Amino acid sequence: MLYLAYKEIKSKPSTTETNIGKNKKLYQLTSKVFFLTLTNPMTILSFIGIFASMSGDIITTSESVAMVIGLFLGSMTWWLILGSIVIKIKHRLPEAWIHRIRYLSAMILAGFGAYIILAHN
């Protein structure tokens, strides 16, 4: 998380993009956030809870596969929608607000990263 905060502060936001650049950026943003979500401990615990709650019921392999695919497609749809909204409204915000949001996000990430490091020592 500290590395992500550092990368966010050091990166320069782009102001002009082509349609190809927007689509590429959308897929990059979506994939980064999706994999960040998959490694989130709360997400992992939520999935464990969902799967554990079904252990008492008799489920077939096809039902299990359908549920995993449904969770994957639901998560990807959510992140595609969220990424699309962010990319579409980004150009409407004043540059000063974009910088504030970036630095605030970086500080929150750094705070969580520092907390994790300090909590485990």
Calculate ∠ Cα 113-118-121, nearest 5°.
130
Give the rounded percent of residues in the chain with a pLDDT score beyond 70.
84
Is 87's pLDDT higher than 80?
Answer: no
pTM of the model: 0.50
Q: Name the least confident of 6-10, 25-29, 109-113, 117-121.
A: 25-29
pLDDT digits (tens, 9 = 90+) for 32-86: 777 777 777 777 787 788 777 776 666 778 887 888 888 888 877 887 888 788 7
Is 107's pLDDT higher than 90?
Answer: yes
